[in-house]
Amino acid sequence: MPIVQPGKRPARRFARSQVFGGKAVARRRGVNADLNVVPMVDIMTMLVIFLLQQFSATGEVLYLQKDIKLPDAHHGQPIEIAPVIAISGEHLVLSGRKVADLAELEKDPFLPIPALEERLRDERKRWEFVHQRDPARDRAWRGEVNLQADVRVPFRVVKRVMYSAAQAGYPNVNFATLEAGSQALAAK
Amino acid sequence: MAGTTVAEQGGRGRRRSLDLTINVVPAIDLLSCCITFLLVTAVWTQIARLQVSQYGSGPQSGGQRSAVTITLRLSPTGHVLQLSTGQDITVPATGKPGDVRPDYAALAARLAELKQRFPDQSAITVAAEDTVPYAELVHTIDACVGAGLASVAVTGGAG
């Protein structure tokens, strides 16, 4: 049963009668309504173009943490996948797992960090196991780690981390930075 | 219906309808899927990297020796560029006592001059004091890379 607007309901025999000047019965309107979707398609196209420009095939290699504020740099290169060492004001973390507290590290007078070395050696063994059938394994090994540290972390901690990484077979360190243009965006 | 009309140029023959309806529903479906996928996979913060090596383990210790060795000593009071020729170039920090900031613009200018003098040089060693914050180290390395000295080795023990 269709929904009809309330109003006068003349009898059927008056429907075509001219007694009321043909005004007694409302004319049937079409049930189809035209919807102009061109502006919507335009907006969606613009959105797709904008998002394609922002698209990164490598995805999120590093996740920004609340307690780590990265410095900005103008001449950085695109970041690549490698084990991530994060140094906040309180903790030292490798690939999401806590390795040590910074307060304990400050008390320790020695240069290497044994727990970090051990974890990095495990990471290297895992990499070698995955690439054990790769004939170009030795050439593929780059010995890189991504270091993500807070702006206020002193160099004495960074130095110890770099030394431990080098001891575990990771002499090349990638300092993670924000691209200078995107720093304002990240601050919001 | 979700359609759009296009005016058709009629011929001289029979009269045809001037309206042509294009079904844009598949286009909207495709665009909706694209937008959803791109929103889910979007990377909003662009993180970059500055590659450095531990002093003594990088390419600097290899067989390719350069004519001059450049060491950039980094301390809270400023930068000192030391060349193996014996020349020292000091880039003092600016600002008032208690609010001292490294002068990265002056440092970049000095590094650019060095690069002009030694165009084949691409290696530099950054020696930082223990108290230097990570941000200053990164900005210093950024200045080196910007001047064309991209092979950066980091070490401690700035004197």
- Tallying the residues shown for chain B, one arrives at 159
Cβ neighbours of A175 in B, within 8 Å: 49-52, 134, 137-138, 141
CB contact under 8 A, B47 and A176: yes
- A35 has a pLDDT exceeding 70: yes
In a domain, A6, yes or no: no
Q: Is B41 exposed, middle or buried (0-12, 13-18, 19+ CB in 10 A)?
A: middle
Cβ neighbours of A155 in B, within 8 Å: 128-134, 137, 156
Domains and CATH numbers, chain B: 3-40 (no CATH), 52-155 (3.30.420.270)
pLDDT, tens digit, for every residue of A97-129? 888 888 888 887 788 888 888 999 998 888 888
Cβ neighbours of B31 in A, within 8 Å: 41, 44-45, 47-48
Distance CA A178, CA A70 (A): 6
Percent share of chain A, pLDDT over 70: 82
- pTM for this predicted structure: 0.72
Q: How far is A5 from chain B (nearest CA, A)?
A: 23
pLDDT at B33: 95
pLDDT at A47: 93
- Mean pLDDT across chain A, nearest whole number? 80
Q: Which residue has the higher pLDDT, A23 or B7?
A: A23
In a domain, A84, yes or no: yes
Residue with tokens 């690069």: B115
Least-confidence region, from B17-21, B24-28, B89-93:
B17-21
CB contact under 8 A, A156 and B38: no
Q: Is B55 exposed, middle or buried (0-12, 13-18, 19+ CB in 10 A)?
A: buried
Q: How far is CA A84 from the centre of its chain?
A: 16
Confidence of residue B46 (pLDDT cuts 50, 70, 90): confident
Alpha-helical segments (H) within chain A: 38-54, 102-107, 114-130, 137-140, 155-167, 183-187
Give the mean pLDDT of B95-110. Answer: 83
Instruction: Look at residues A174, A6, A90 and name the one whose alpha carbon lies nearest to residue B54.
Output: A174
pLDDT at B97: 72
Show the CA angle centred on residue B90, arms to residues B49 and A152, nearest 5°.
40
Confidence of residue A140 (pLDDT cuts 50, 70, 90): confident
Distance CA A18, CA A86 (A): 88
Distance CA B149, CA B111 (A): 8
Distance CA A20, CA A9 (A): 13
In a domain, A80, yes or no: yes
Confidence of residue B9 (pLDDT cuts 50, 70, 90): low
- B18 touching A (Cβ < 8 Å): no
Residue A7 backbone zone (phi > 0: left; psi -120 to 50: alpha; other: beta):
left
Residues 62-121 on B with a CB inside 8 Å of A are none
Which of A159, A167, A179 is the mutation pick for testing B, counting most B CBs within 10 A?
Answer: A159
- Mean pLDDT across chain B, nearest whole number? 80
Q: Which residue has the higher pLDDT, A64 or B6?
A: A64
Q: How far is A77 from chain B (nearest CA, A)?
A: 5
CB contact under 8 A, B27 and A41: yes
Contacts of A23 (CB under 8 A, 6+ apart): none
- B6 touching A (Cβ < 8 Å): no
pLDDT at A101: 86
Query: Which of A24-38, A57-71, A154-168, B38-52 shows the highest mean pLDDT?
Result: A154-168
- Residues paired with residue B20 on neighbouring β-strands, in sequence order: B6
CB contact under 8 A, B47 and A47: no
Q: Which domain holds residue A162?
A: 72-187
Confidence of residue B34 (pLDDT cuts 50, 70, 90): very high
pLDDT, tens digit, for every residue of B69-99? 888 888 878 888 888 888 888 888 887 777 7
Three-state secondary structure call for residue A181: helix
- B122 touching A (Cβ < 8 Å): no
- A186 has a pLDDT exceeding 50: no
Q: Is B23 within 8 Å of B125 (Cβ atoms)?
A: no
Confidence of residue A135 (pLDDT cuts 50, 70, 90): confident
Query: Into how many domains does chain A fold?
Result: 1
Rg (alpha carbons) of chain B, rounded to whole number: 30
**b/e A45-75 (16+ beta carbons within 10 angstroms → b):** eebbeebeeeeeeeeebbeeeeebbbbbbeb
In a domain, A81, yes or no: yes
Residues 45-64 on B with a CB inside 8 Å of A are 45-54, 57-58
Contacts of A162 (CB under 8 A, 6+ apart): A147, A173, B54, B154
- B19 has a pLDDT exceeding 90: no
A34, A76, A171 ranked by CB distance to B49: nearest: A76
